[in-house]
Amino acid sequence: MYTLGMDIGSTTSKAVILRDGREIVASSMVIATVGTLGVFQVMDHVLEESGLKKEDMACIVATGYGRQTYGEADYQVSELTCHGLGVRHVCPQARTVIDIGGQDAKVLSLGEEGRMVNFVMNDKCAAGTGRFLDVMANILKLDISQLEVEAARSEKPANISSTCTVFAESEVISQLAAGTAIPDLVAGICQSVAVRTAALAKRAGIKEKVFMSGGVAKNGGVRSALEKELGTEIGWHPLGQLMGALGGCIYGWEKSR
C-alpha cells in the first residue's frame, strides 16, 4: 500500500511516498508555497520519481501552512501531528521535537508511544525562524547552506538581538560597519535563533531524547548552539525537512490499513 504526504510549508513544498507505512519510495522538495504552481510541481516530481500514479495512492494527506487549500487530499492534518509522526518513524526514542520552519517554530512533547501529548508554538514573529536566517544570509550575501561552515570558523560569536528580525538586521549591518568578522556574525545569528528556540523548548519541557526537524535542522550552527543552550545532545536526520510529509504518509497509512 502506498500513501502520499504533502507538506505545503510557508517557503517550501515537500512530498513523500511511503510503502506499507515503512519504506520511503520517493521524495521531492520545491521552493514554492501555497497558491503557486510549486505545489503541483512537487506532486509531479514525486510521482515521476516513484514511477507511480496518483490513483496508486491509498491515501493522500496534506499538512503544513497550505493544507486547507489542497483539494486533492483525503485528510488535512496539522503539521504538528505530522512532524511528531515523522520523527517517531526515524527516531522512536525521541520525546521532544523541535521543528523550526520557514515561518514559525514549534516544540512537541511526545509520549511513551511517540504520540504528541503537548506542544507550544512561537509568537506571531519571524525571530527564531527560518525566515530570520534567510534575511540574515541575504544581508551577508551568503547562501543559506554556507551558514553552518561560516559559524564553525567563528572564534568569538557576535552578540545579536534575539527579539526582532528587523532590529537584528540593523545590528548586523552596524557590526559589519564596525568590522566584525563574517564567521563571528554568523555564529551570533545562529546563537540568536538558539536562544529564542531554547526558551520555547523550556516552556514545553525538555525530555530526552531531543530531536530537531524542519529546514533549519540541517544547519549545524543552529543545532550546536541549541545543544549548548539546552545542555543536551540533539538528534537530527538528513531528511529532517521532510518529516512533516513523512508524518502525513504515516497518518494516511494508519487510516487506510
Partner 1 sequence: MTANEWLAKLHEAASCPKKHMERYLSQGKKVVAVAPVYTPMELIHSMGLVPMGVWGADVEIKEAKKYYPAFICSIMQTILEMGIKGEYDGVSAIVIPSLCDSLKTLGQNWKYAVKEIPFIPMSYPQNRKPDYGIKFTKAGYQRVISDLTIAAGAQFSEAALAESIKVYNEHNQVMREFAEIASTARLTAAERNDVFKSAWFMLPEEHTAVVKELNAALKEGPEDEGKARVLVTGILADSPSLLKILDDNGIKVVFDDVAHESRQYRIDVPDMANPMDALAQKFADMDNCTLLYDKEKKRVDYIIEQAKAHSADGVIVLMTKFCDPEEFDYVPIKRACEAAGLKHLNIEVDRQMVNYQQAGTMIQAFKEMF
Q: Which positions lie near partner 1, rule CB under 8 A?
A: 65, 68, 77-81, 104, 115-121, 123-124
CA separation, residue 218 to residues 71, 114, 167, 180, 212 (Å): 30, 22, 25, 25, 9
Kindly tell me which of 10 and 232 has the beta carbon lying closer to partner 1.
10
Kindly tell me which of 57 and 80 has the beta carbon lying closer to partner 1.
80
CB of 116 to partner 1, least distance (A): 6
User: 27 - beta bridge partners?
Assistant: 16
CB of 146 to partner 1, least distance (A): 30
Distance CA 236, CA 98 (A): 10
For the CA atoms of 12, 18, 21, 24, the dihedral, rounded to the nearest 10 degrees, stands at: -90
Kindly tell me which of 121 and 181 has the beta carbon lying closer to partner 1.
121
CB of 158 to partner 1, least distance (A): 29
CB of 11 to partner 1, least distance (A): 15
SS3 212: strand
Which residues are within 8 A (CB) of 131 and not within 5 positions of it... i.e. 6 or more apart?
10, 11, 102, 103, 165
184 touches 151 (CB < 8 A): no
CB of 109 to partner 1, least distance (A): 10
Kindly tell me which of 95 and 223 has the beta carbon lying closer to partner 1.
95
CA separation, residue 100 to residues 26, 44, 127, 159, 214 (Å): 23, 26, 11, 21, 5
Kindly tell me which of 78 and 146 has the beta carbon lying closer to partner 1.
78
Locate cell 509522526: which residue? 85
Kindly tell me which of 183 and 244 has the beta carbon lying closer to partner 1.
244
Distance CA 181, CA 201 (A): 30
Distance CA 235, CA 65 (A): 25
Distance CA 76, CA 141 (A): 38
CB of 220 to partner 1, least distance (A): 28
Kindly tell me which of 131 and 223 has the beta carbon lying closer to partner 1.
131
CB of 229 to partner 1, least distance (A): 22
